[in-house]
Structure 1
Amino acid sequence: MQTPRSAAARLRAVRRGLLAGLSLTSLASITTVAQAQDEASEDEIVVTGSRIRQDPLAAGRPVLNLDEDQLDRSGLNSVGDFLQRIPSSGGGLNAKVNSSGNFGNPPDGGGVGAGSAEIDLRYLGSRRTLVLVDGLRWVNGASASGVPGATDLNTIPSSIIERIEVLQDGASPIYGSDAIAGVVNIITKQEQDGFAASAQVGAYDKGDGVSQDYQLSWGVSNDRTRIFFAGQYVHQNAVDSADRDLSDFPVATLDQCINTCSSATPTGRFIFTDPVLGDQDLTLADGFQYTGTNPAFPGDFKGFTTADRFNFSPFNYILTPQERVGFMTQVTHDISDAVEFRAKALYNNRQSVNQAAPIPLFIGPFGGNGNRMDTISIDATNPYNPLGYTLSGTSGPGYGVFRRFFEAGPRHFEQNVDTYYVSGTFSGELGNDWFWDASAYWSRNSASQIANGIVNSAKLEQALGPVALCTGSCVPFNVFGGPGSITQAMVDFVTFDQQDASEQEIWDLQFNIGGDLFNLWAGPMSFAAGFEHRDQSGFFSPDPVVAAGDTADIPAQPTSGGYNVEEMYGEFNIPLISDIALADSIEANFAIRHSTYSTGFKTTAIKYGGRWRVSDELTIRGGFTEGFRAASIGELFGTASRFDALLNDPCSAPVAPAFVANCATLGVPPAYTQINAQISVTVGGNPNLQAEESDSWNVGLTYAPEWDGVFLENFVAEANYYDIEISGAIQALDAQLQLTGCAATLDPGFCNGIVRNSAGFITAFSNQLTNIGGINTRGLDWSVAFDIPLGETNLGVNWNSTRLFDYTEITPTSTGFLETSREGRLRSTPQQAFPKLKSSLTADWDLGALSLRSTWRYISGLRESCIGFTAIQGISGAVGCSSYNAADDNLSTNRLKPKLYMDVAASLEVSDRMELTVGVNNVLDTDPPPCFSCQAGGFDPAQYDVPGQFGYVRLVWRP
């Protein structure tokens, strides 16, 4: 399918780009040591964001450079955690995210990505940030619960990294799909003389979360050959939710249950209609103790209340344990003075664990599972049924039995991920400043996950059904007796260890050539062009029991798919003016890339830009970039699954006046009350998805005055404004927005896919992927760096910030479009915070053999919806919604206060080759702001640290 842009649209884009101004060199690019692809020229090399060899000091792109020393002194053991701290990062998955499938799968077909670490630039999602390693696209992650569309940075050992270049601008005309928000290019070490090693040990002030990070590297070289080897071992212990006040209950700041605790309890919740007594909502009486005798109905039961709900939070982690081992070998050989060959091989293994409370059994039509559990009947002949009649799952008024399967123990989800990578690159010179390279590489991510304590719903149905049919190994099951009434024989019959697997693979061939075409009046016109062929494939294979639909937990079906793409690109740098007043140089740049996918999708992306170097001190730049993102394998081919979203049903009693009439129209009885805070939402891929397209504009300047000899030295200031518009964005509607929008407007665009039964319960909620209207976002990055000479010492200061002006999601409705502003707010599903300001300031005081470092990290305040959480108002000791609306809790909001973190470290050069670093992250013991709408943990793990101070010691031995 061809997706050309109209001539008028291109003309508007060009005009807007030119009006934005001409190009400059970013602060980070001034200090860049360019991409390590070839060092034949000391003056001109390839810098991230362009294929043209050029002076890195003149590269007109907003590139943030992060070196090995910054990573080493951060106290962090994951490159993903490190990158998530830069101000332009919107977050992403990390080890603080405990969901392993117990909440279900997100709607993007990628699975939960348990144990992964990702980078999300501009809050546009990790799928819209391209990750490269040495300029080559890295394979997407494997989650063992889907086929992700983003890179897992935990597959890249930190020990191999020389530096990281972060292009904070779109680059699809250079690199192809996914480079909408930006590009992260991880540059690996290529050579070293001798042996190097480091060891780091750290822990939180409570003694938990102990981490160990051991790295080693070795290199040898002669006149023509360089060999480099590096390895890393990381061991990270867990931090339990039970050990932090913020996280030991589902709602932060509470020490008691409200409606967000689970109605599936060890004593059970029983909702049914008795032929004599009518509607019942019961649990076991407080004094009942199971001794082998069934409880008597109704004498041993009482009415179910909020106080009877189950607190599942203490079983969770707020920092998940994991173990990683990674190795890389790289060999570089000069075949001749003009031709070089480089081979690289990498292996990485991650083993990680997530934990959740014992599985809840939601049995019967009121369970809302969307699977066999909804149709199970508890037969009158079941020996543990105290009612004397059958609770039918297929006829009659319906029922719900909700039992926490405590006897099966907490659920553990154990992931094992293997990453393999092999590449070979030839590169060389053609003379007259022309260069070429040809690369081929293959990579695979293979993942498996074992989950214990999962229930086979087919066996549970047999064990609860007619006793005459419970034959062979079947053991009748007891859901009415309370704690201790489920025997080990019952556990063994209905439970199994769920084993899932997934894999992603990439093959890539590419050829690039570049040089100076000819000289113009202002200098040489530079050129680069190339061709790339890429094959990507992936699959997800759930456990056969799950694929058969016989699980009591999250349903899933196998997914597999793949595609190939052929791409050609060209890039030009055109000097226009040089060496005149107010213009040391003015140049224009242009790039174009055409992509043809085997799925039928074709597109052409174009980039226009310019750079105006006013003088040695001031440079201005601007540009316009077309981008695209082809739907990932999981998005296209992901089968239906389920996500248990934390949602508030606006039709649940008491209903706000604005919704009463519409809820009645939807068939909801006035007495209907939402049973659980989580509502099961059906999610999955969509083979009819179209590719996303984006238009982005940027303008910026760099000011670097020659102030040497005065109070400040090496002063550089930069500002970069960005404006990104994405059309046809691939994502699901905000489930809460969809549910509330249906009740508020009855718009079919919201209501289609939401099905209720006669009692008002939601029995189906489809929230699958679609090309929504779009996303528009604008913001400003700025950086300031300088040195202050202090006698024989030096104080270096580096300040980086990002201000989010606007982030608007555009959703189609039957009557037009709904615009939802997200800046300064926290979205609950899928969870994402959009702080208006993030800032990081680092001061390094070099005292000779001793250096001191302090980093301040600021996150501005946020506002979240308080829908469904107004029950906390008035509870003693609780921090309630800051803007509470007693008349309509749909209008209640809560403010998450701004937070300031401080990290400190001291490094001592013990000898010429040995350095000792001692540091404390979060030395001020700043706690995350309590978050009511966050899915787990009571705070947003993508933005804030685990509560507590983290201290560490690092010893480094240099070659």
Structure 2
Amino acid sequence: MKRPHRRWPASAVPLSLSLLAAGGACAQEAADAQSSLATLERLQVTGTRIRTAELEGQVPVQVVGRAEIERSGLGSIGEVLQQLTASGSALNAKFNSSGNFGFPPDGSSVGAGSAQVDLRHLGAKRVLVLVDGIRWVNESSASGVGSATDLNTIPLALVERIEVLKDGASSLYGSDAIAGVVNIITRREYDGTQVTMNYGQYGRGDGTSRGFDLAWGRSDARTSLFLGASYVKQDGVDARDRAQSRWPVPGTGLAFGSSATPDGRFVFVDPDTGASQDLVPNAGAGTPAYDGSAGCQRSDGYHCFGTGDRYNYAESNLLLTPSERKGVFGQFRYFFNDDVQWYLKALGNRRESSNRAAPEPILLGAEAGTGNPLADAIVVSALNPYNPFGFDLDSAGNLALIGRRPAEGGPRLYRQTVDTQYLASGFVGTFESPGRTWFWDVNAMYGRNDAEQVNTGSYDLYNINLALGDPAACAAVAGCVPLDIFGGAGSITPGMLRWIQPVLRDRSRNELGLFTANLTSDLWRLPAGPVSFATGVEYRRYEGWYRPDALTVAGHYNGVPSLPTSGAYNVKEAYLELSVPLLADPARGQALDLSVAGRYSRYSTFGSEFTPKYGLRWQVGRDLVLRTTWAEGFRAPTIGELYGSAARADLQLSDPCSIGLGGTAPRGDAAHCAALGVPAGYQQANSQISVTTGGNRGLEAERSRSFSAGFVWSPWFGSNTPWSQRFDLGVTFYRHHVDGAIQAIDAQTQLDLCVATLDALYCDGIGRAASGGINGFDNRLTNLGSIRTDGWDVELGWILPETGAGQFRLDWQNTFVGRYEATGAGGQRQPQRPGWEVVDSAIPEWTSSATLAWSRGRWNASWTARHISALREACGDAVAFAACSDPEAGINRLDAVTYHDLQLGYRFAWLGGLQLSAGLNNVFDKDPPACLSCSLNGYDASTYDIPGGRYGYVRADLKF
């Protein structure tokens, strides 16, 4: 029996149709089909649920084929997508993202070890990820209930192609599709066996990556079976091995190092003399007597704290985090007859990854600012045998800060294990009625991510309190050992560590179950052609929980605290989409089509939403198509955003009321600082401020409006001519406006506005100790203001005629960001804008990727240039250092960067074919620009390659 493949949708649901493609990867993927209305090529892509060719070119879709993926030399879907010019900042393996990052202000959890995708700089949680048209379950990172998709849960080996819809699509796919949709199309039919091996390493001899993929398939008249297995292991890279990343802020030495040192820092007022002291033990001093001299004079065993005493935590960081991923997957299809098939898909994937941070600091006292009373309200007893001062150190009176970093306990290690399970099944079919064919499908899916994070190298504050208190109270508790926090590096013994250093285990889960049913066909004919429709229903249930270690729940954890989170909700949806041909003249290749879509969603958490979308496509002639769309969208608050309990992120904040590290005057108004209780001459003891965040059950959905307009042009004089086999140009203008964005106000912006205005809107939640230092910062989620962004995509594809020298092909993708404005609920402008680097996130005004590919016989090669335009950032306290390029304006310039990637391959005629490839990414070993405002490793890990980033690799692909 012959299977009618042409009658089946491109995925398990009829979400794809023939669309016009221009430039880039699109033209290559489209080369096997011709439009009935024009000479323009087309392909099966995401963007509508109607199965008809008359809507081709309605929406901007970029297709990344398997050839492009293999040419990149990259090992994960996330790495591939983050190199698209429309991508914004998102987590990847270059983020050493545990430790003080804690819970980010958007409530989405850290996602340690994950890889995400951001489109249009609107955030990963505003991008919908589909696999064969079905939603994928959100990440689980063991630090919360995630709001984005971890692309590391999907093995790259199962991908046939990736379709990126760069337009709002809530009317078609529901929540989360504000910035666009990523649809990952899997390999489904394959006869034979394919074995792929790859190996790569950075030029410094580190960061080794190796992988092994196995694919096997068979098909006959009734069945189709595809099985695959994937293994990827990525070694880490130490920050200490790259000069740019050895210091907290490049070019400033220890000025931005931590005041919590292995020897310890002690800031207090001597109750006997009233003198303020800021002391550090002399190296090797042990526990000397304290002489109580006036002022901050040097005593026998201590000296006054200075910049040279600060601790360089950067050397302990990872520049590239290690990861190991193992996955198995399969897809089976059974054809009952020419009209009905049944499919079954399953996947299991495990990711084991780790992050590493410097030895954890123990911060105690009124200016510790942790928000934990066990740290902020501590009393160190005068009876403690290691207290050299002879009096109590009391946070309520004389103790401002104890900063001790027990290097004896080793670095903080965070090891994640994430298990992904996926099962999907359904029926797909057709039936006939007079004059039309009906396409239908029903689908069910269940996906789950389970994560565990094991944390070593952290401390128990409750046990620290006992060990620093009255020794009699300590002796009454089994295992308690008095703690020597004053004696300098090496004074904390193994017995002391056993009492204060636990092993912490956090767990989390995200689950998604769904059912969909869809129907599409033609309704009736108009003079210009048939009116087509698609309709369907969908039911989804989300459930998630996060269970931190019992010590964390009890408030004993010295690191970033959090409380358990759990919740569930469901959504019921129905949609209708219409395609209406208004005009058609096939003889001249002209057509005008209207598309209309609407989706009704009812959430158990906040109510109902209706989102419409309208589009026009005008095929002016055989080689030119104009298109425009307008859509409303929404994003429902997720489990973490709704139910997340109080948690904390430690952020680098510059107090406007503080003297700068270089001795510069405070930025804030002196009278306002005095009104806030900050004395003249105050200098911030600790710039790492603990900011508390948490969920909000009163959150409403985010609402958006999206607009796009552009054209696709394949001129007749560029097709089958001596200078061009094919030439395509595509230009698209985009605009997104998000209202009620779920996030918290930028913490630095809130602090600056509090000092500038004294308005309770900004100052409520910011507490200060009697010394003037910040000792509390509450920054909760809300439906905050709006985000507006617009820009242009320009794509060019050029295939040259084949000659004796071979065939050349040029693909050039560009994105220009014209506007990006984020505004808080009170009208305050957030710092993000085009051309600026803010909080480890950049919005370049221009990103570009150009690939020149060559093939001749069995040889092939490619050269890719990736360009990121220049950026600026605020120097902050680094204004006093030479690293700030424009100290008068307080601005540092990050120069434009262009990376070059090269690949060469040869195909042998062995068995079914052996393809050998070798490549070098970042050929000229271009370092990223040094970033003064970035929190780790001296550069923006979401925008640039790592320093010392020349990466070579080899790949072997054998088919038989």
User: TM (normalized to structure 1)?
Assistant: 0.93
1:803 and 2:845 are equivalent in the alignment: no
Deviation at 1:281, TM superposition (A): 3.6
Deviation at 1:820, TM superposition (A): 5.2
Q: Give the aligned partner of residue 7 of structure 1.
A: none
Report 1:680-829 matches (<5 A).
680-706=690-716, 707-789=719-801, 791-792=803-804, 793-813=806-826, 816-818=827-829, 822-828=833-839
Check conservation: 2:289, 2:389, Cα contact below 8 A.
Answer: no
Return the match for 2:687 from 677, 683, 692.
677
Deviation at 1:738, TM superposition (A): 0.9
Residues 735 and 430 of structure 1, relative CA distance in 2, 3 Å threshold: same
1:99 and 2:77 are equivalent in the alignment: no
Report 1:290-301 matches (<5 A).
290=286, 298-301=299-302
Deviates more, 1:146-155 or 1:703-712: 703-712
1:851 and 2:860 are equivalent in the alignment: yes
SS in 2 for 1:807: strand
Residues 527 and 45 of structure 1, relative CA distance in 2, 3 Å threshold: farther
SS in 1 for 2:669: helix
Q: Which one-letter code corresponds to 1:489 in the other structure?
A: G
Q: Which one-letter code corresponds to 2:885 in the other structure?
A: S
Separation in structure 2 between the aligned mates of residue 71 and residue 819 of structure 1, nearest angstrom: 36
Deviation at 1:277, TM superposition (A): 4.0
Q: Give the aligned partner of residue 663 of structure 1.
A: 673
1:208 and 2:206 are equivalent in the alignment: yes
Q: Give the aligned partner of residue 15 of structure 1.
A: none
Deviation at 1:765, TM superposition (A): 0.9
Separation in structure 2 between the aligned mates of residue 657 and residue 435 of structure 1, nearest angstrom: 66
Q: Give the aligned partner of residue 152 of structure 2.
A: 154
Separation in structure 2 between the aligned mates of residue 466 and residue 150 of structure 1, nearest angstrom: 48
Deviates more, 1:747-756 or 1:898-907: 747-756
Give 5+ residue unaligned stretches, structure 2: 1-18, 33-40, 293-298
Q: Give the aligned partner of residue 465 of structure 1.
A: 469
Check conservation: 2:20, 2:43, Cα contact below 8 A.
Answer: no
Separation in structure 1 between the aligned mates of residue 77 and residue 830 of structure 2, nearest angstrom: 35
Q: Which one-letter code corresponds to 2:875 in the other structure?
A: C
Deviates more, 1:103-112 or 1:663-672: 103-112
1:883 and 2:894 are equivalent in the alignment: no
Return the match for 1:894 from 892, 895, 902.
892
Deviates more, 1:278-287 or 1:897-906: 278-287
Check conservation: 1:24, 1:613, Cα contact below 8 A.
Answer: no
Separation in structure 2 between the aligned mates of residue 492 and residue 717 of structure 1, nearest angstrom: 66
Check conservation: 1:45, 1:54, Cα contact below 8 A.
Answer: no
Deviates more, 1:232-241 or 1:69-78: 69-78
Q: Give the aligned partner of residue 338 of structure 1.
A: 339
1:385 and 2:384 are equivalent in the alignment: no
Q: Give the aligned partner of residue 15 of structure 2.
A: none
Q: Deviations over 1:278-315 (max 9, x none)?
A: 3444344435343x777776421110001100000010
Q: Give the aligned partner of residue 460 of structure 2.
A: 456
Report 1:478-517 matches (<5 A).
478-517=484-523
Residues 642 and 265 of structure 1, relative CA distance in 2, 3 Å threshold: same
Return the match for 1:571 from 577, 587, 603.
577
Separation in structure 2 between the aligned mates of residue 337 and residue 923 of structure 1, nearest angstrom: 52
Return the match for 1:443 from 447, 450, 454.
447
Check conservation: 1:294, 1:481, Cα contact below 8 A.
Answer: no
Kindly report the root-mean-square deviation, in angstroms, between the aligned alpha carbons of the 2 structures.
1.9
Residues 848 and 549 of structure 1, relative CA distance in 2, 3 Å threshold: same
SS in 2 for 1:928: coil
Separation in structure 2 between the aligned mates of residue 657 and residue 840 of structure 1, nearest angstrom: 41
Report 1:98-117 matches (<5 A).
98-117=96-115
Report 1:553-564 matches (<5 A).
553-564=559-570
Deviation at 1:453, TM superposition (A): 1.4
Separation in structure 1 between the aligned mates of residue 77 and residue 327 of structure 2, nearest angstrom: 13
How many residue pairs get aligned? The number is 911
Separation in structure 2 between the aligned mates of residue 646 and residue 518 of structure 1, nearest angstrom: 63
Q: Give the aligned partner of residue 375 of structure 1.
A: 377
Return the match for 1:272 from 256, 265, 268.
268
Deviation at 1:33, TM superposition (A): 6.3
Q: Give the aligned partner of residue 929 of structure 2.
A: 929
Deviation at 1:253, TM superposition (A): 3.3
Report 1:540-619 matches (<5 A).
540-579=546-585, 584-619=590-625
Q: Which one-letter code corresponds to 2:837 in the other structure?
A: L
Separation in structure 2 between the aligned mates of residue 116 and residue 55 of structure 1, nearest angstrom: 38
Deviation at 1:490, TM superposition (A): 0.1
Separation in structure 1 between the aligned mates of residue 858 and residue 924 of structure 2, nearest angstrom: 27
Check conservation: 1:110, 1:145, Cα contact below 8 A.
Answer: no
Check conservation: 1:802, 1:838, Cα contact below 8 A.
Answer: yes
Report 1:38-117 matches (<5 A).
47-55=45-53, 58-117=56-115
Deviation at 1:911, TM superposition (A): 2.4
Check conservation: 1:787, 1:796, Cα contact below 8 A.
Answer: yes
Deviation at 1:821, TM superposition (A): 5.7
Give 5+ residue unaligned stretches, structure 1: 1-22, 36-42, 874-879, 886-890
Q: Give the aligned partner of residue 625 of structure 1.
A: 631
Separation in structure 2 between the aligned mates of residue 411 and residue 758 of structure 1, nearest angstrom: 32
Check conservation: 1:26, 1:63, Cα contact below 8 A.
Answer: no
Check conservation: 1:131, 1:138, Cα contact below 8 A.
Answer: yes
Q: Which one-letter code corresponds to 2:771 in the other structure?
A: A
Deviation at 1:46, TM superposition (A): 6.1
Deviation at 1:392, TM superposition (A): 1.3
Check conservation: 2:55, 2:593, Cα contact below 8 A.
Answer: no
Q: Give the aligned partner of residue 4 of structure 1.
A: none
Q: Deviations over 1:200-219 (max 9, x none)?
A: 10101100000001111000
Check conservation: 1:155, 1:349, Cα contact below 8 A.
Answer: yes
Deviation at 1:32, TM superposition (A): 4.7
Report 1:347-426 matches (<5 A).
347-371=348-372, 372-393=374-395, 395-426=396-427
Check conservation: 1:917, 1:954, Cα contact below 8 A.
Answer: yes
1:642 and 2:643 are equivalent in the alignment: no
SS in 1 for 2:798: strand
1:916 and 2:895 are equivalent in the alignment: no
Check conservation: 2:270, 2:398, Cα contact below 8 A.
Answer: no
Q: Give the aligned partner of residue 657 of structure 2.
A: 651
Identity percentage of aligned residues: 43
1:195 and 2:193 are equivalent in the alignment: yes
Separation in structure 1 between the aligned mates of residue 681 and residue 61 of structure 2, nearest angstrom: 58
Q: Deviations over 1:27-54 (max 9, x none)?
A: 565655699xxxxxxx999631110112
Residues 774 and 657 of structure 1, relative CA distance in 2, 3 Å threshold: closer
Separation in structure 2 between the aligned mates of residue 34 and residue 204 of structure 1, nearest angstrom: 36
Deviation at 1:73, TM superposition (A): 2.0
Separation in structure 2 between the aligned mates of residue 901 and residue 152 of structure 1, nearest angstrom: 26
Check conservation: 2:583, 2:591, Cα contact below 8 A.
Answer: yes
Deviation at 1:112, TM superposition (A): 0.9
Deviation at 1:368, TM superposition (A): 0.9
Q: Give the aligned partner of residue 876 of structure 1.
A: none
SS in 1 for 2:824: strand
Q: Give the aligned partner of residue 251 of structure 1.
A: 249
Q: Give the aligned partner of residue 263 of structure 1.
A: 259
Check conservation: 1:588, 1:611, Cα contact below 8 A.
Answer: yes
Check conservation: 1:139, 1:505, Cα contact below 8 A.
Answer: yes
Return the match for 1:907 from 898, 905, 925.
905
User: TM (normalized to structure 2)?
Assistant: 0.93
